[in-house]
Chain A
Amino acid sequence: MTVIPVQYYLIVAAALFCIGLAISVTKRHFIGMLLGIELMLNAVNINLVAFSRHDPERLSGQLFALFVIVVAAAEVTVALAIILRVYGRFKTVDPDKVSDLKQ
């Protein structure tokens, strides 16, 4: 059934991971960095699912990817709450300008 080798999935996932890394390095915005982190988590999930294709009885890779999705959802809610608090205190979303624990 499957004709696509696993290396193709790995290369696509590597490219997506590097794009996400470049996004979270270059963006000077907290939410821009979060977008990059979400992209990186998705790239890792592609790897897990691609290897899970060869494990049809246990599906360990897909279960791990499911837990990664759960942790990503928890992470993004807490991160957004923190970003909103930081924005309320410092009135900025630039990570370079937020360098104090207390104002």
Chain B
Amino acid sequence: MEALIFYLFSALTLAAGLLILFSKNLIYGAFALFLAFLGVAALYVLAGADFLAVSQIMIYVGGILVLLIFGIMLTQKKEQSDDSTRHNRIEVPITRQLWGFLIGAGLFGLLVKVILTSDFKLAGDEMSSKSTIKTIGVELMTSHLLPFEIAAVLLLVALIGAAYLALNRNPTP
């Protein structure tokens, strides 16, 4: 049963990724990315990371994806036409498609070969079915306190930097 759900959500994630790769319209790609994020969150739940799955849905789907869709819509071309398939269209030249396929397939073959030939000696015991929130909270406030504070400062810097960059400082047409 668990394996069946795993296969289902893996297939959903990979199909959504391929849909982004082959869709000509970028908005469709953004909505396929939504499906991919949901599939990844389900894989987190299957791996026993419940807090991380909820964070994934809240941060990626609620924050990053909305930002990306904003970005797509704010960078529309000026010449508007009534043809609804015309917007956000991206032409991919055939050489670049070939290179993308070659790089992707080559790296995938290499990674699968490495994964299948390696022999992982996993020493720790398996995860029990209890929630991970308590462990994550305790670890964040004790042994990972410095990265936690650095992440806070990084978010503040990114906020100020993004607001400063996006300000319309020279309104030349």
Chain B residues with CB below 8 A from A87, complex form: 74-75
Chain A: CB-nearest residue to B78: A91
Asked if A72 meets B64 with Cβ closer than 8 Å, knowing A52-B49, A57-B135, the reply is yes
List residues 2-50 of chain A with CB under 8 A from any CB of chain B: 2-4, 6-12, 14-23, 25-32, 34-36, 38-39, 42, 45-46, 49-50
Chain A residues with CB below 8 A from B26, complex form: 27, 29, 31-32, 35
B-contact 0/1 string along A71-83, CB 8 Å cutoff: 1111111101111
Q: Say yes or no: is A101 at the interface (Cβ < 8 Å to chain B).
A: no
Asked if A26 meets B20 with Cβ closer than 8 Å, knowing A18-B107, A62-B136, the reply is no
* A53 adjacent to B48 (CB under 8 Å): yes
* A22 adjacent to B103 (CB under 8 Å): yes
Interface residue count on the A side (C-beta < 8 Å): 74
* B122 adjacent to A25 (CB under 8 Å): no
Q: How many Å lie between the Cα of A30 and that of B117 in the bound state?
A: 37
Q: Say yes or no: is B86 at the interface (Cβ < 8 Å to chain A).
A: no
- The minimal Cβ–Cβ distance linking B108 to chain A, given in whole angstroms, is 4
Chain B residues with CB below 8 A from A45, complex form: 40, 44, 52, 56
Chain B: CB-nearest residue to A65: B52
B-contact 0/1 string along A57-100, CB 8 Å cutoff: 11110110111011111111110111111011001010000000
* B44 adjacent to A49 (CB under 8 Å): yes
Chain B: CB-nearest residue to A57: B135
Q: Determine which of B52, B59, B90 lies in contact with A29 in the assembled complex, contact meaning CB atoms within 8 Å.
A: B90
Chain B residues with CB below 8 A from A17, complex form: 107, 111
Q: How many Å lie between the Cα of A74 and that of B63 in the bound state?
A: 11
- The minimal Cβ–Cβ distance linking B57 to chain A, given in whole angstroms, is 11
Chain A residues with CB below 8 A from B140, complex form: 63, 66
Chain B residues with CB below 8 A from A11, complex form: 112, 115
* B75 adjacent to A49 (CB under 8 Å): no
Q: Determine which of A18, A54, A66, A71 lies in contact with B127 in the assembled complex, contact meaning CB atoms within 8 Å.
A: A54
* B78 adjacent to A22 (CB under 8 Å): no
Chain B residues with CB below 8 A from A75, complex form: 158
Q: Determine which of B21, B36, B122 lies in contact with A26 in the assembled complex, contact meaning CB atoms within 8 Å.
A: B21
User: Interface residues, chain A, CB within 8 Å of chain B?
Assistant: 1-4, 6-12, 14-23, 25-32, 34-36, 38-39, 42, 45-46, 49-60, 62-63, 65-67, 69-78, 80-85, 87-88, 91, 93
Going nearest first, the 10 A-B pairs with the smallest beta carbon separation are: A22-B104, A74-B158, A26-B100, A81-B165, A19-B17, A14-B111, A18-B108, A54-B124, A25-B100, A81-B162
